[in-house]
Amino acid sequence: MKYMVLIASDGETWAGIDEAEQGQIYGRILAWWEERSAAGQILEGHQLQPVETATTVRVDRDGGATVTDGPFVEAKEMVGGYAIIDVPDLDAAIALVRTWPAPDLLEIRPLVVSEGMGT
């Protein structure tokens, strides 16, 4: 099954970690990502630019659109990256995600696989 993993960070948690340690954590994340990609578990994914770069476009029912600065939900946790993974089931997805080497929140969502969207 394919799942999207949304990786969110709590700004306060990261503010409490000094720069040298943050560097080490990024190093571990890179290694983690490469290893799982090579194993075919991660199909694709990216780190995202900080939430300050987000732009939200709201499209209403009659097709009008409003463009605003910022993400669509204001929360303490901000999405900072995503991965599309391919594993047998939710237990395998949880087992994969729980080894993420940083103090973050990870949301696992199954993809809708149909003829209309995606493969």
Partner 1 sequence: MTSRAEVEVALAKAVREERGRLVAGLVRILGDWDAAEEVAQDALVSALEHWPRTGLPGRPGAWLTTTARRLAIDRLRRSSRYRERLARIATETREMDTRPATGGPLDADDRLRLLFTCCHPALAEEAQVALTLRTIGGLDTPAVARAFLVPEPTVAQRLVRAKRKIRDAGIPYRVPEPAELPARLDGVLRVLYLIFNEGYLASDGAVPERRDLARDAAWLTSLLCELMPDEPEPMGLLALMRLHLARADARFGTDGGLVLLADQDRSRWDAAAIRDADRLLRAALRRGRPGRYQLQAAIVAEHALARDYAATDWAEIVGIYDRLLLIEPTPVVALNRAVALAERDGPAAALAAMEPLASRLAGWHLFRAARGEMLRRMGRLDEARHATRAALPLVSNPAERRVLEERLAQLGSGRSEGPT
Contacts with partner 1, residue ranges (CB under 8 A) = 1, 3, 88-95, 108, 110
CB of 39 to partner 1, least distance (A): 18
CB of 41 to partner 1, least distance (A): 14
For partner 1, which is the closer residue by CB, 69 or 91? 91
CB of 95 to partner 1, least distance (A): 7
3-class secondary structure, 105: strand
Residue listed under structure tokens 């560097």: 23
For partner 1, which is the closer residue by CB, 25 or 111? 111
For partner 1, which is the closer residue by CB, 78 or 106? 106
Q: How many C-beta neighbours within 10 Å does residue 111 have?
A: 15
Q: Mark 41-71 as b/e (b = at least 16 C-beta within 10 Å).
A: ebeebeeeeebeeeeeeeeeeeeeeeeeeee
